[in-house]
Homo-oligomer: A and B are copies of this chain.
């Protein structure tokens, strides 16, 4: 164990430049706060998590059928198949979604948005968008929005 001295701090910092370190601290703060803030608003106003909201939103955009394969839905939500499956079970119990099997391949599960699920989404959307605006876009210029998009694209490159 190192004795107190100039190096008692910054165990990590030696392996990132000062600029990288500063940027990482802030990014770490964003990824801790933003999900919590989104969940808090959605939960209190609509009884939804951000993840559940995403599921409803993606299904609503999935063509007139409002249906997507579980594996596709999981990828678009950026969650594991297991997490999606547990989430769909809960959402099915609340009547927002149903599941059916693909007739062409019985292994494949397809999630379908119900009318109640669509109504829930419609009810939740305005408050959610307001929150996204308040948390993110109210703080950014148009140029910064472009910049944010480019940065996230870079981070998502290989993932």
Give the Cβ gap from A139 to chain B, nearest Cβ, in Å: 4
Q: B35 to A31, Cβ gap below 8 A?
A: yes
Q: A19 to B142, Cβ gap below 8 A?
A: yes
Give the Cβ gap from A32 to chain B, nearest Cβ, in Å: 4
State which of B79, B121, B155 has its C-beta within 8 Å of the C-beta of A136.
B155
Q: B155 to A19, Cβ gap below 8 A?
A: no
**Which A residues are within 8 Å of any B CB, using their own CB?**
1, 4, 8-12, 15-16, 19-20, 22-24, 26-37, 50-51, 54, 57, 60-61, 63-64, 66, 77-80, 115, 118-119, 121-122, 125-126, 128-129, 132-133, 135-137, 139-140, 142, 144-159
